[in-house]
Structure 1
Amino acid sequence: MQIQELGIAVLWTFLYGYLIVASIDFGAGFFAFYSKYTKRDQMINRLIARYLSPTWEVTNVFFVFFFVGIVGFFPDTAYYYGTALLVPASVVLILLAIRGSFYAFANYGSKESTFYMFLYGATGLLIPASMSTVLTVSQGGFINETESGVFFDGMKLFTNFYSWTVVTLAIVSVLYISAMFLLFYADKARDVQAVPLVRKWALFWSVPTIIASGLVFFGLKSQAAWHYESILAGNWWWFAASFIFFIVAVSFVYLKRNYGLAFLMVMGQFFMAWFGYGYTHLPYILYPYIDINGSVVNESMAIALVVVFILGLLLLVPALYLLLRLFLFDNDYVRGKRSSGKA
């Protein structure tokens, strides 16, 4: 494996971690608002609060590692994506600020405010929707390089069918992943009120998730034929395996058993789909302008970055595991018998 391939594999792993952790966080915020709006918050919101309290601060660590790494490894990404993502990135920053403010206001006694809950829940869906535009832009056709610089066709992105399928998949996947985790968490907490409610959410959001996945493949054929052909050229098994994981996960939920194993199947489902997408997208980071072979930083710097980010991954994963052991999966904490020490 060449140094640039190892580098992008490490960065893609960071982004996968963000995909899972952030999806649980974003979806939990939406479900918290939805439960309050439908006056069922007494059934689920204490459970959601026990999850969010010790974890919301660390959610973006994975994304920060990826962002710093991708610019460090492939400097051209700042040049091309800097223009294309100016508006989406600005929107994401604003939404993250609004989302973070929920906690600040909550600490000052406004936690029961429906308005703040709405902002928290809405941003949990709008942030992944905005971020997903990167995946669409990377397929090519939205950025043109001329003598005067880089031109981004925002209107084409806004009216593009494939773009909206990716946005839809991002939103429903967040809700599906979050619901599956909360079901496992509610079951571990032995919360007999929350389990039936969250189980319905998990089964409900599994349907649009698989439909949206099919629509993405349908749209990819016309938007990026080169990527579509790469998948069919012997790489379809990634997505077949992902579908099998999906079937197993939903079957466990439908049969009301092994909710922990069901969530592991969900992680496997998105692992195969995520890395299958990344592998079949290579060597391009942005078609046709940035590829990992021609746009990588000098070799000595690349080696140093790989070492640093592998060490960062080795530090972050045990730290996250320790957080899970001390709080989320501690029997007393998960059942509400012990506080995390946060408001």
Structure 2
Amino acid sequence: MSFTALGMIVLYLFLFCYIVIASIDFGAGVFLLQAKLRGTQKTLTPVIARYLNPIWEVTNVFLVFFTVGIVGFFPDFAYYYGTVLLVPGSIGLLLLTMRGSFYAFQNYGPDSKFSWLLIYSVAGLLIPPSLSMGLVISEGGYITKKGGHVDLNWADLFFSPFAWSVVFLALVAVMYISSGFLTFYARKAQAMKAYALLRKWFIFWGPPMALVSLFAFITLRSQNKEHFDIAVSQYWWLFLISIICLIAAWVLTILKKSPGTAFMLVILQMATAIGGYGVSKWPYILYPYINGNVNKTDDPMALALTIAAVCGLLLLIPSLILLMRLFIFSKDYVEGKSEEGHY
């Protein structure tokens, strides 16, 4: 295995961690807004706030590591994506900045306002579609290169079934993952009213998650048949495991059994789906312009980047585990016996 391939595995771990942690974070913001609108904030807000307070500042670190790493391994990545993703990328960064700022205003300011919560929640819902444009464009068919000039075909992107399937998948995945974790977290906190509400949301988002995932997989065939054929012929078992995990988590939640196990199945579901997508796509980073076996940095640089990425992972994962043990899953903290934020 080359250093580049090993580095990409580490970068995929960063991306996977970001997808899970950020989805919980983004979805939690939507549930806070929903609780405010429906008058259930006394039920839901304490549980959600206890999760958000310690974790919101570290979420984007995984995204930064992934972005810096992939540009280091594949210098052409900055050339192509820096041009075609200028608009959606800038929107995503603006939304991330707005979301962090208004969370701070809302949670740590002397007074809270509904408008701040609204901006915080809506921004969190819009970030996944804006960031998912990178995945959509990576499948090819949207970029034209004439000489040294790169153009994005906006009309093709806007009217692409695959592009819209990924956008809807990003939105549904956020609500699905977040409701799954918060259901488990509410049960652990012994907040049974919050658990009942969040359990209904997780059950609700299960079927849309399955349907949108299937739609995205089908539309991939029309967008990139080569990738689709490899995924179906060689890595079908990973996607089968993902489907089984989705069904098992949904059934356990319906039966009110083991919410912790149900969320671990959600994690396994996402891990196998993302893993299957990644390995079936390799060595292409951007069809057909960036091939991981050809358009890569030299071996000494790849080795240095791999070591740096592994060290970053070894630093972040234990830090995240420590944060969870000290705060998020601490018995006194999760049951609200220590100080918590307000909304």
- TM, length-normalised to structure 2: 0.97
Instruction: Measure the CA separation in 1 of the matches of 2:111 and 2:280.
Output: 47
Judge which range, 331-340 or 180-189, deviates more.
331-340
Deviations 1:117-137 (A, max 9, x none): 111111111000111111110
Aligned partners of 2:189 and 2:334 also within 8 Å: yes
Aligned-residue offset at 1:23: 0.4
Deviation at 1:315, TM superposition (A): 1.0
Q: Deviations over 1:311-332 (max 9, x none)?
A: 1101110000000000000000
* Contact residue 103 and residue 120 of structure 2 kept, 8 A: no
Q: Structure 1 CA distance, aligned partners of 2:283 and 2:41?
A: 47
Q: Structure 1 residue 104: deviation in Å?
A: 2.8
1:94-243 alignment to 2 at 5 Å?
94-106=94-106, 107-111=108-112, 113-243=113-243
Tell me how far apart the structure 2 counterparts of residues 329 and 10 of structure 1 sit (CA, whole Å).
26
What are the superposed Cα offsets for residues 193-246 of structure 1, whole Å, 9 maximum, x if unpaired? 101100000000111111100110111111111111111222111100100111
Kept in 1, the 8 Å contact 2:169–2:212? The answer is: yes
Task: Tell me the CA shift for residue 158 of structure 1.
Answer: 1.4
Aligned to 1:13: 13
Does the aligned pair in 1 maintain the 2:46–2:340 contact within 8 Å?
no
Change in CA separation of 1:168 and 1:11 when aligned onto 2, cut-off 3 Å: same
Whole-Å separation in 2 of the counterparts to 1:52 and 1:225: 41
CA contact (8 A) 1:54 1:340 kept: no
4+ residue stretches of structure 1 with deviation over 3 A? 340-343
Could you tell me which runs of 5 or more consecutive residues in structure 2 were left unpaired when the two chains were aligned: none
CA distance, structure 1, for counterparts of residue 96 and residue 223 of structure 2: 30
Q: Matches of 2:110 and 2:254 in 1, distance apart? A: 39
Conserved? CA contact 2:49–2:340, under 8 Å: no
For this pair of structures, how many residues does the alignment match? 342
Correspondence 1:46 to 2:76: no
* 8 A contact 2:103–2:117 mirrored in 1: no
Could you tell me which amino acid in structure 2 is paired with residue 109 of structure 1?
Answer: P
Q: Deviations over 1:223-276 (max 9, x none)?
A: 111111111222111100100111111111011010011100000000000010
**Shift in alpha-carbon separation, 1:341–1:26, aligned structure 2, 3 A:** closer
CA distance in 1, matches of 2:239, 2:19: 17
Contact 2:235 2:276 (8 Å CA) reproduced: yes
- Would the aligned equivalents of 1:54 and 1:342 in 2 still touch at CA under 8 Å? no
* Cα RMSD for the two superposed structures: 1.3
Compared CA separation, residues 342 and 192, structure 1 to 2 (3 A): closer
Distance (Å, rounded) in 2 between the aligned partners of 1:152 and 1:288 = 14
- Structure 1 counterpart of 2:263: 263
Secondary structure, in 3 states, of the residue corresponding to 2:150?
strand
Amino acid at match of 2:109: Y
In the alignment, does 2:313 pair up with 1:313? yes
By how many angstroms is 1:340 displaced?
6.0
Give yes or no for contact 1:138–1:285 (8 Å, CA) kept in 2: yes
- Which region of structure 1 is more displaced relative to structure 2, 154-163 or 237-246? 154-163
1:61-82 deviation digits (Å, cap 9, x = unpaired): 1000000000001000000111
Q: Specify the SS of the correspondent of 1:305.
A: helix
Partners of 1:325 and 1:342 lie apart in 2 by: 22
Structure 1 unmatched runs, 5+: none
- Partner of 2:234: helix, strand, or coil? coil
Answer whether contact 2:50 2:341 (CA < 8 A) is retained: no
Letter in 2 for 1:293: N
